């Protein structure tokens, strides 16, 4: 009986960590804004995300959900990414993963999906800004091939902090 309970618990944990990526919709925005606040991102807020959703041709907005239910309403959002194609670059605007789900590869999955999308659209490179003191994010971005190419002094306002400008090439090498 004890062995059965342990197996059930392991199965339950595995189902909770099943991650699926999907396009962000207007119905997701309250959860996305709450996650943005939880992760202390520079605030965009509901209106900015809603406006970005209208730019379907040159923006990518994905959410990561966990769980095994077929109903999206029963699968909470645990991460998201917002990226935009500008000229020949992919600009990663926002990436967030709920703190209790970090370290499970969700951020990497979101980043790799966005980078692949940029590559399919023939973007030359992907760029982003990150707080100079956000070591965990630096580790994620470096793991996806990004390198520091510059620094923007006092870029972030609350609290005031420099931003590191990072980039990765998306050009295919023959």
* Catalytic choice (37, 141, 156, 171): 141
129 catalytic per annotation: yes
For 70-101, b where at least 16 C-beta lie within 10 A, e where not — what string?
A: eebeebbbbbbbbbbbeeeebbbbbbbbbeeb
CA separation for the pair 79, 62 (Å, rounded): 8
103 in the Ramachandran plot: left (φ > 0), alpha (ψ -120 to 50) or beta? Answer: left
Burial grade of 53 (CB within 10 A; 0-12, 13-18, 19 or more): middle
Reported as type and span, the H/E element at residue 14 is: helix 2-16
* Catalytic choice (37, 129, 147, 156): 129
CA 174 to chain centre: 29
89-97 and 125-131 strand pairing: parallel
Active site amino acids: 129, 141
């Amino acid at each position: 009986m004890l062995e059965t309970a342990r197996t059930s618990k392991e199965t339950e944990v595995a189902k909770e960590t099943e991650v699926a990526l999907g396009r962000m919709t207007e119905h997701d925005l309250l959860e996305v804004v709450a996650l943005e606040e939880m992760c202390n991102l520079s605030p965009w807020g509901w209106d900015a995300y809603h406006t970005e959703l209208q730019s379907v041709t040159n923006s990518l907005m994905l959410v990561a959900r966990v769980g095994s239910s077929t109903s999206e309403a029963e699968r909470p959002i645990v991460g998201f990414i917002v990226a935009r194609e500008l000229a020949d670059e992919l600009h990663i605007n926002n990436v967030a993963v709920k703190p209790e789900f970090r370290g499970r590869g969700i951020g990497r999955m979101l980043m790799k999906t966005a980078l692949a999308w940029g590559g399919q659209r023939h973007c030359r490179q992907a760029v982003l800004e990150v707080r100079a003191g956000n070591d965990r994010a630096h580790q994620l971005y470096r793991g996806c091939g990004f390198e520091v190419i510059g620094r923007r002094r006092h870029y972030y306002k609350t609290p005031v902090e420099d931003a590191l400008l990072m980039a990765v090439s998306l050009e295919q090498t023959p």
